[in-house]
Amino acid sequence: MLLNRDRAKLGAVLLLAFSLSAGCRKEEKFPAEPVIAFKSLEQQGDSASFTFTFTDGDGDVGLDSYDNLPPFNTGSAYYYNLYLEYDELQNGNWVRIQFALPLYYRIPRITPTGQNKALEGEMSVALKPWPYSSVGDTVRISAYMVDRTLNASNTVMSEAIVVQ
């Protein structure tokens, strides 16, 4: 049977071992530029949801509302930081559809606190109304994002889906 003194020693050793193992946890290492991967494109009646995963090694994803000076000013190529493109299958060929209001978005700042700034997560974009055009019945969405140091991610593309 353990005495209180022995229990205290065992507890201290376990606490020290846990603290050392937590301190030695391998820090996630990702490239400084964002990397995205397509996850899903799901239809829900008159809307759809485009979902992708992302990583960013230095955690500089997103913009604050006050990020409006160059190069993030209105009308700049970097005012938005998430860019979606909409393609329709028309007569066997993929055609990029240009809209008066493009499918561009401002991701809010999501930089983590603490020493390790690496980010890993998932984002979904609500697409409403859906579909955007009525010419083609098969569509696909492509996307890329840009971080605050203007590093562009890779471009991902959804699978082709038949609009319901």
- The answer for 150, left when phi > 0, alpha when psi is -120 to 50, beta otherwise, is left
Name residue, tokens 């930089």.
Answer: 111
112-128 confidence digits (pLDDT tens): 787 788 999 999 999 98
25-67 confidence digits (pLDDT tens): 456 789 899 999 999 999 988 899 999 999 999 999 999 999 9
Q: Indicate the pTM of the whole model.
A: 0.80
The correct answer on CATH 2.60.40 for the domain covering 35-162 is: yes
- Decide if pLDDT at 4 tops 90: no
pLDDT of residue 134: 66
Q: How do the domains of the chain map onto residue ranges?
A: 35-162
